[in-house]
Amino acid sequence: MWYGTTTTTAAILMALVAGAPLTAGAADTKAQTTTQEAKTMVSDSWVTSKTKISLFADERVKGTQVSVDTAKGVVHLRGKVDSAEAKSAASDIAQGVDGVKSVKNDLQVVAPAARKAVDARDSDIAKAVGTRLSKDSQLKKVDVRTDAGIVTLTGQVPSIGASAKASEMARGVPGVRSVKNELTFTR
């Protein structure tokens, strides 16, 4: 009997020793993933800051007119600029920043004389869409941004149906030219 117990104990110990590297490997992989995500966030923040500084430093673009966001090295430019040349220059400037993988240029060209009217209208549209969405309990936390009548919806909603409903409600607001639905939902 004693011999069988020793064999069983030895087998259990061998299984634990053999499984330990797998468990450690999983922990290492998770630590590496977390470390990489942190590096990406720092890197994206750095790219965003460096891009904003570069836009402010260049005479061709009014840096205050451009909003910059970066995700995984992709720089997203938004806002209104005075000319097609300024829009093109903004892309060139952003592309020249170290760490930029690509540039998504959603800048709108609006003549300075028309800017005040367009800005006021965009803010009115955003407010109207936000008010309409806030009346629905599933859509209260949706963020609304408007550029030249194009409404962008961001945030998280509970379902794809709620996401579709938010788009429909936004489209129903006077002055909305189109809706970009960037909402995410939990399953």
Q: What's the pLDDT tens digit per position in 128-153?
A: 999 999 999 999 999 999 988 899 99
**pLDDT given for residue 57 in this prediction:** 87
**pLDDT given for residue 152 in this prediction:** 95
Residue 25: pLDDT band (50, 70, 90) is: low
Task: Write the DSSP assignment of 75-101 as a string of letters.
Answer: EEEEEEES-HHHHHHHHHHHHTSTT--
**pLDDT given for residue 33 in this prediction:** 61
Evaluate if residue 154 carries a pLDDT over 90.
Answer: yes
Residue indicated by tokens 């966030």: 41
Evaluate if residue 28 carries a pLDDT over 90.
Answer: no
- Residues 45-104 pLDDT 10s: 899 999 999 998 888 888 778 889 999 999 999 988 888 999 999 999 999 999 999 999
β-pairing verdict for 150-157 and 178-185: parallel
Residue 8: pLDDT band (50, 70, 90) is: low
Evaluate if residue 167 carries a pLDDT over 70.
Answer: yes
- Count H helices and E strands in the chain, helices first: 4, 6
Nearest to 132 by CA among 121, 140, 124, 120: 140
More confident residue, 12 or 174: 174
Mean pLDDT of all residues belonging to the chain? 81
Domain annotation for the chain: domains and CATH numbers: 41-109 (3.30.1340), 112-185 (3.30.1340.30)
H or E stretch covering 183 = strand 178-185
